[in-house]
Amino acid sequence: MSADVFVEYIAKINEAFAQGDATEHTHRPALKGLIESLDGKGKVTATNEPKRQQCGAPDFIVSRKLRQTEQTIGYIEAKDIDKSLS
């Protein structure tokens, strides 16, 4: 994995934020791209706005293709740049 994926992600976030009208949803495509690129093998998928789960309504589900099935790795709750995570 190259540091370039992080540089590209930050550049996309900065570009959208600089326009002055970005929201949490504006940044989600960049986050999806970052998550999926971290694997480097094309086996990780980040699903934006998946259906409700037992844990609630996460913004992303991250899964990995393992043989013929999808295995859930985790859930992500996204927030806008200026919002508290709590």
Instruction: For residue 60, count CB atoms less than 10 angstroms from its CB and return exposed for 0-12, middle for 13-18, buried for 19 or more.
Output: buried
Q: Check pLDDT > 70 for residue 12.
A: yes
Sequence letter at residue 75: Y
Give residue 52's pLDDT.
Answer: 79
The pLDDT of 12-41, averaged and rounded, is: 92
Of the pLDDT bands very low, low, confident and very high (cuts 50, 70, 90), residue 32 is: very high
Q: Check pLDDT > 70 for residue 1.
A: no
pTM of the model: 0.83
Average pLDDT value over all residues in the chain: 88
